[in-house]
Amino acid sequence: MAPPLPMPTPLLANLNPEQLEAVTLPHGSALVLAGAGSGKTRVLTTRIAWLLATGQASPLSVLAVTFTNKAAREMLLRLSTLTPMSVRGMWIGTFHGLCNRMLRAHHRDANLPQLFGILDTADQLSLIKRMYKAHNLDDDRFPPKQLGWFIASAKDAGLRPSAVEAGDEFARRQVEHYALYEAMCQREGVVDFAELLLRSYELLAGNEPIRKHYQRRFSHLLVDEFQDTNVLQYRWLQMLAGTDAAVFAVGDDDQSIYAFRGANAANMQHFERDFGSPTRPVRLIKLEQNYRSHGHILDAANALIRHNRSRLGKELWTSEGKGEPVRAFAAPSDLDEAAFVVDAVKGLTDEGIPLSEVALLYRSNAQSRVLEHALFNAGLPYRVYGGMRFFERAEVKHALAYLRLVASPDDEGAFLRVVNFPPRGIGARSLEQLQDVARGRGTTLWQAACSGAVGGKAGSSLAAFVGVIEKLRSETLALTLPEAVAHVIEGSGLLAHFRAEKDGEDRVDNLEELVNAAQGFVREAEIASDAPMLTDRVDADLPAPTDGQDEGATDPLAAFLAHAALEAGETQEAEGKPALQLMTVHSAKGLEFHTVFVTGLEEGLFPHENSLNEADGPEEERRLMYVALTRARRKLYLTHAQTRMLHGQTRYHVASRFFDEIPRELVQWLSPQRKRFGSIDVDESEWGAIRAAPQATAAAPSWRVGQNVRHAKFGTGVIVDAEGRGSDARVQVNFRESGLKWLALEYAKLDPA
């Protein structure tokens, strides 16, 4: 195949040599190691546009997959400015969105009802609780959350219950619960997030005509944030790629921060083995030129990440100047830290830096409180990311539950959510009766309710509820989606209920907003891109994948419900007002700001204490820190506090090891000078030293974090953390043999080693 000549169009203008190489690679697979701020989205979208412009691909043959809806939208938007061709027909979306699309088209082959519902995490949790109740499983050894996590992990690894290895009794029980859960989902016609992936994978793996169809269709697969793929997503890609499709994967192993939810950065190491073949050689390209940050910031980030051992290797550079030094501040307490931040932010405002260009980052959400408090008192506007989202609000969930019942009445989660909301006299008693009937007859709650098997007052209340749903269904049949949504929130009594409630205005507003959301959804579907499900048809060349029935356009209501589950909506209304941005480091990934404050840089917090036991924990924490540093364009502040209220208790922390991993000459300390002890920075003040009995005896040894110690029973180790003072003082020691232990200094016999 003769590679077409690159086009002399503006498409390729202003690309650096590496970007240009990546964009114009001849047919084959490519792994693009794209550092932070190296223009990876640009490369990805320009690659697609180039493939289209040179006729190597048609829109129909392109599949591009991302992790978040935001990234998918961004890709679509940029692509539409880069190519005159219609983006219609391309499969661009999240893994979950694309799998949903595939499963809707082949629901029979996937053994799902046409209008299958999608459970979000909260729905999944409540299903597990119902399952425990129904089977009288009230064992505290299996908390619902933990089982949910277990099931999701198993599915993410591609494992059905029969394939999970259960070594002990405990694991065996968990697998049994997993199997029960699956049966229950299947009976109710619902799938959870992980199931979308697994079902889609199994559909491809087990159905040759369908697999061949998609393999023939998609000659180009493009993957964003490849380092975040889990085992199942990787195998899904392999299945789709077959032996011929060109896979263009963009990722950064140094920004892999989602191992805790199954992301497997090792996928990058296997790429060459698994996506190469004689017809598609594998190329590796590194994008190391950074267009975001000034030199000192990059130097700091490079130095930090060099402390990780498992890396593919990459070093960011910039053609810009060194810029300002990284600034650091040691605060006596979390309150002082917040006060420092407030002061510094005021200074930035005076310099004319917009508040929306300043981010306050922290390791865990609990840390936002103190910062918010200080900002509020200072009258600085701010916005906190990561709270309740639109489609997760209770009143919206209720409205969606009515819609779900209208679409598929056997959805028991939806049934139980609204059967007595607004209250209609169907209490726990009546429901128990109903559940007994359903169980006895092997039917769903809905069928039992329809049968009239529950008599008396409860029976007539249930009949009334069934009547409401039936009425809503028949009345919305001929309506457009937004009309139907409006009708359901009205006819269900939800609107009246919240109007009557004293502080119900916000909820009423949200219900009305749901109608707008439906309107917006339909509008987007009409102009093509984001909601392809409405127009998606099984391609004509697919050899009889189903029993011959027309699988045409999916029901708009089902599509909207899928949209609500797959895209939870913005955290808050994006108010136009300029505001400081507060978020965890995780949610800052992919963003950039003029100025970044990384707060709470303390041993135990960041790196988080829980991570120290985990296999790849410390390195993942360091990658997280790397992500934090590389968010900053011009100014970077690193702060830590020596005392902090945590879980309602005052805790004492030493500065994070990450301070030591950034060369001193890059850092300007704004707080009094510090001294170094061992490998850990410790302040000279009284905070740094931990004494078992201060001033009690001259001989009382003093301990420092980072110090090597010996214990009669546990052997040798190193102090990694400390808390409490005087007779309460405790240190955490990482013992070579026995791992992490907290020891009370008053009792434990510790010797310097």
CA distance 175 to 164: 7
96: phi > 0 → left, psi -120 to 50 → alpha, else beta; which?
A: alpha
Instruction: Name the token pair of 312.
Output: 């593919």
Contacts of 182 (CB under 8 A, 6+ apart): 160, 161
Instruction: Report which DSSP code applies to 289.
Output: B
Residue with tokens 């990482």: 734
Amino acid letter at 721? D
Task: Give CA–CA dist 402/484, Å, rounded.
Answer: 11
Q: Which of 41, 443, 571, 716 is catalytic?
A: 41
Instruction: Assess contact for 38 and 287: CB atoms under 8 A.
Output: yes
Out of 35, 97, 158, 323, the residue judged to bind DNA by CB under 7 A: 97
Is the CB of 347 or the CB of 425 nearer to DNA? 425
* Nearest in space to 661 (alpha carbons), one of 299, 288, 324, 253: 299
Q: Is 476 a catalytic residue?
A: no
Is residue 357 a contact point for DNA (CB under 7 A)? no
751 classed as catalytic: no
Under the binding rule (CB under 7 A), the answer on residue 67 touching DNA is yes
DSSP output for 504-546? -HHHHHHHHHHHHHHHHHHHHHHTSSS-GGGT----TTS---S
Point out which span in 67-75, 179-187, 302-310, 710-718 binds DNA (CB under 7 A).
67-75
Rounded-to-integer distance, Cα 72 and Cα 356, Å? 23
Question: Could you tell me which residues are beta bridge partners of residue 223?
Answer: 65, 249
Minimum CB–partner distance for residue 645 and DNA (Å): 6
- Asked if 87 and 45 count as a contact pair (C-beta separation under 8 A), the reply is no
- The site for DNA, by CB under 7 A, has a size of 43
Task: For the CB of residue 462, give the shortest distance to DNA in the complex, in Å.
Answer: 11
Active-site residue among 18, 19, 24, 40? 40
Give the amino acid at 94.
Answer: T
Q: How far apart are the first and last CA of the chain?
A: 67
Query: Which one of 369, 457, 499, 664 is in contact with DNA (CB under 7 A)?
Result: 369
Choose, by CB under 7 A, the member of 27, 40, 217, 363 that binds DNA: 363
Phi/psi region, residue 352 (left: phi>0; alpha: psi -120 to 50; beta: rest), is left
Report if residue 153 touches DNA, rule: CB under 7 A: no
- Of the pair 104, 363, the CB lying nearest DNA is at 363
CB of 124 to DNA, least distance (A): 9
CB 370 within 8 A of CB 338: yes
Q: Which of 29, 46, 264, 430 binds DNA (CB under 7 A)?
A: 430
List the one residue from 1, 2, 428, 574 that touches DNA (CB under 7 A). Answer: 428
What Cα–Cα distance (Å) separates residue 449 from each residue in 192, 496, 696? 26, 25, 74
Radius of gyration of the chain from its Cα atoms, rounded to whole angstroms: 29
Our answer to whether residue 651 is catalytic in this structure is: no
Does 703 bind DNA (CB under 7 A)? Our answer is no
Tokens 């364009």, located at residue: 633
Contact between 567 and DNA (CB under 7 A)?
Answer: yes
Residue 538 beta carbon to DNA: minimum distance, rounded to whole angstroms:
22
Record the tokens describing residue 648, joined without a space.
């309602």
Contact 511, 494 (CB under 8 A): yes
- Examine residue 56 and tell whether it contacts DNA (CB under 7 A): no
Phi-psi region of 606 (alpha: psi -120 to 50; beta: other; left: phi over 0): beta
In the complex with DNA, the residue whose CB is nearer, 70 or 135, is 70
Q: Which is nearer to DNA, 418 or 750 (CB)?
A: 418
631 is catalytic: yes
CB-wise, 385 or 703, nearer to DNA? 385
Stretch that binds DNA, among 43-51, 421-429, 476-484, 715-723 (CB under 7 A): 421-429
Tell me, residue by residue from 599 to 638, as one string, x for binding to DNA by CB under 7 A and - for no binding.
---------x-xx--x------------------------
d(CA 465, CA 753): 73
Evaluate whether 603 touches 657 at the Cβ level (below 8 Å).
yes
**226 near DNA, judged by CB under 7 A:** no
Q: How many CB atoms lie within 10 A of CB 310?
A: 11
Using CB under 7 A, which of the segments 321-329, 336-344, 580-588, 675-683 binds DNA? Answer: 580-588
Q: State which of residues 16, 41, 364, 447 lies at the interface with DNA (CB under 7 A).
A: 364
C-beta of 118 vs 682, nearer to DNA: 118
Among the listed residues 3, 206, 427, 552, the single contact to DNA using CB under 7 A: 427
The answer to whether 502 contacts DNA (rule: CB under 7 A) is no
225 is catalytic: yes
**Residue number with CB closer to DNA (476 or 492):** 492
429 near DNA (CB under 7 A): yes
Q: Is 8 in the site for DNA (CB under 7 A)?
A: no
Residue pair 317/290 in contact (Cβ under 8 Å)? The answer is: yes
Q: Which of 42, 96, 507, 651 binds DNA (CB under 7 A)?
A: 96
Residue 183: CB minimum distance to DNA, A: 22
Return the number of the residue (107 or 608) whose C-beta is nearest DNA.
608
Taking the C-alpha atoms of residue 216 and residue 209, their distance in angstroms, rounded to an integer, is 10
Active site positions, annotated: 40-41, 224-225, 255, 631
Instruction: List contacts with DNA (CB under 7 A).
Output: 67-70, 94-97, 120-121, 129, 193-194, 260-261, 363-366, 369, 386, 420, 423, 425-430, 566-568, 583-584, 586-587, 608, 610-611, 614, 645, 647-648
